[in-house]
């Protein structure tokens, strides 16, 4: 019986460690989970209708890392490791030029400081995200 309870203890410690590990991965900007659980929801909600799928406003599509590195008419949207040089960050901080490329999202509320910080943290840690899906065409 003691063995059974001891075993149960080991299992629950294991489960706690596992769940902490998942949370840790979400908070750790050097892991792709940071992008999928924190960054992508922001991009989907605030940028997607103009920069995802078939939308390439300003020449920029954000579906893949390759596309963000290629960027739009003004060059790379992200410079991994350097938020200050990344158009994406400059424009959401409203520190871009007044007109071309204009601050993002256009004619809408500025992102919250918390959301801006998430994007900055992600780029600073190297803009890590899951590998690009294979090309379909
Ligand atoms: C309503 C449509 C719309 C939304 C929403 C939007 N954008 Fe844009 N985006 C544009 C247009 C239009 C341009 C081109 C503007 C220009 O060149 O002056 C652009 C340009 C850009 C550029 C510069 C591309 C280049 O190299 O010229 C970046 C970076 C960018 N957007 C990031 C974002 C981010 C990040 C979000 C979400 C927070 C966002 N955009 C939301 C329409 C949108």
In this prediction, residue 98 carries a pLDDT of 84
In this prediction, residue 133 carries a pLDDT of 83
In this prediction, residue 136 carries a pLDDT of 64
Probe ligand 1: pick from 101, 114, 122, max atoms within 8 Å of CB?
Answer: 101
Cis peptide before 70 (omega within 30 of 0): no
Measured CA to CA, the distance from residue 17 to residue 19 in angstroms comes to: 6
Atom of ligand 1 nearest to the CA of 76: 26
Q: Which of 61, 116, 131, 110 is nearest to 84 (CA)?
A: 116
- The ranges of the chain with pLDDT < 50 are none
Measured CA to CA, the distance from residue 60 to residue 110 in angstroms comes to: 19
Q: Which two tokens stand for residue 42?
A: 């922001």
Read off the pLDDT of residues 8-27 as tens digits, 9 standing for 90 and up: 666 666 666 666 666 777 88
């Amino acid at each position: 019986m003691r063995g059974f309870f001891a075993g149960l203890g080991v299992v629950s410690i294991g489960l706690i460690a596992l769940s902490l590990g998942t949370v840790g991965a979400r908070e750790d900007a050097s892991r792709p989970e940071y992008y999928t659980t924190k960054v992508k929801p922001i991009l989907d909600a605030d940028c997607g209708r103009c920069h995802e799928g078939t939308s390439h406003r300003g020449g920029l599509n954000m579906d893949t890392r390759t596309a963000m590195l290629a960027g739009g008419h003004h060059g790379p949207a992200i410079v991994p490791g350097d938020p200050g040089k990344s158009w994406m960050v400059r424009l959401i901080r409203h520190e871009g030029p007044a007109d071309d490329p204009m601050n993002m999202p256009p004619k809408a509320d500025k992102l919250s400081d918390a959301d801006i910080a998430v994007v900055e943290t992600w780029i600073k840690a190297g803009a890590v995200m899951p590998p690009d899906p294979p090309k379909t065409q």
